[in-house]
Chains A and B, each alone.
Chain A
Amino acid sequence: MIRAALVERPIDVGAILREVADSGCGATSLFVGTVRDVNDGRAVEGIDYEAYRPMAVRELSAIVKAAAGQFGVPHLVAEHRIGSMAVGDVSVAIAASHAHRASALDATRHVIEEIKRRAPIWKREHYADGTREWVDPANAAGSAGPAAKAVGVAEP
C-alpha cells in the first residue's frame, strides 16, 4: 500500500499501521506529529491547519510515491489532518514497512521532512493569551532558510 491523504477527521494511527503490515516486512517505522502546548516560549492551546487542498494532495502523493521508490519500501502511508486541533491531537502520521529497519526509518524521516519543506499547508496557533498567529518557520530557531530556496524555485 502506497498512499497519501489530506483528512479532516482524527487520524487513526492503528489503522495506518495495519495498512503497512506485511509478513515479509520485519521492520515498521511510524512517525506521529502532535500539537504541542508551547512554541517559541508561548503557551499554545490549539492550532488551525489550512491547506491549498488540491495542491497539498498532489504534493503529499508525489512525496510518498517518490520516497517509496527512493527507499524501496513496499508500504508507505501518510495522512495529514487539517482543520482545528487541540493540544495532543495527531496532525500527521507516516508509516513505512520494509524487510529491514534502515529503509523503513529513512522513508518516514524523508517524508516528514519533505512535507515540512514543500506541502502547501499552514498553521495558525491559538495562544493562552487569546491571540492567534500564522506560524512562519523562518522565524523559528533552527530554520532551514527561505522557502523559495527550499523548493528550488527561481526568484525574480
Chain B
Amino acid sequence: MPPVPVTVLLFASYADALGRSALELSLPAGATVADAVGRVVGQGELPRAPLVAVNEEYASYDRPLRAGDEVALIPPVAGG
C-alpha cells in the first residue's frame, strides 16, 4: 500500500514553537490523526494532545487520513 502524504499546518504559539507554519509528512497506509500528531509533537515544545482539524473541520484522533489531507494543529482558541 502506498504511503499517505499529508500537510500539517501550525498556528500561533505552535508555529512559534516549531519555527514553521507548515510541514509535510509521509505516513504509512492506514495512518490516523493520532499518527500525524505523534510525528509532530515530539519536534518541539507542543502539548501531547492538541486539538486537530482535518480539511478545515475539527476531527477526532481515530480519524483515518487520506493522501492530500490538510491536518491543522489548533492551539487554544482566543477569538472575540
The digit string for B44-80, where 1 denotes a CB below 8 A from any CB of A, is 0000010111001111111000000000101111111
Asked if residues A55 and B77 are in contact (CB atoms below 8 Å), the reply is no
* Chief secondary structure at chain A's binding surface: mixed
Q: Taking CB as reference atom, which chain B residue is nearest A121? A: B79
- Per the CB 8 Å criterion, the residue count for chain B at the interface is 26
User: CB of A100 within 8 A of chain B?
Assistant: no
A117 to B52, CA, bound (A): 14
Q: Which residues from chain A contact B78 at a C-beta distance below 8 Å?
A: 116, 121-123, 134-137
Q: Which residues from chain A contact B8 at a C-beta distance below 8 Å?
A: none
User: CB of A112 within 8 A of chain B?
Assistant: yes
User: CB of A50 within 8 A of chain B?
Assistant: yes
Q: Taking CB as reference atom, which chain B residue is nearest A50? A: B12
Q: Which residues from chain B contact A112 at a C-beta distance below 8 Å?
A: 80
Q: What bracket does the count of chain A residues touching chain B fall in?
A: 35 or more
Minimum distance in angstroms from B50 CB to a CB of chain A: 8
Between A and B, 30 residue pairs with Cβ closer than 8 Å are A52-B9, A52-B56, A54-B56, A55-B56, A55-B57, A55-B72, A80-B80, A115-B79, A116-B80, A117-B77, A118-B58, A118-B77, A119-B77, A120-B74, A121-B78, A121-B79, A122-B75, A123-B79, A134-B13, A134-B75, A136-B13, A137-B77, A147-B51, A147-B76, A148-B51, A151-B58, A153-B51, A153-B52, A153-B60, A156-B61
B residues whose Cβ falls under 8 Å from a Cβ of A: 9, 11-13, 16, 34, 37, 49, 51-53, 56-62, 72, 74-80
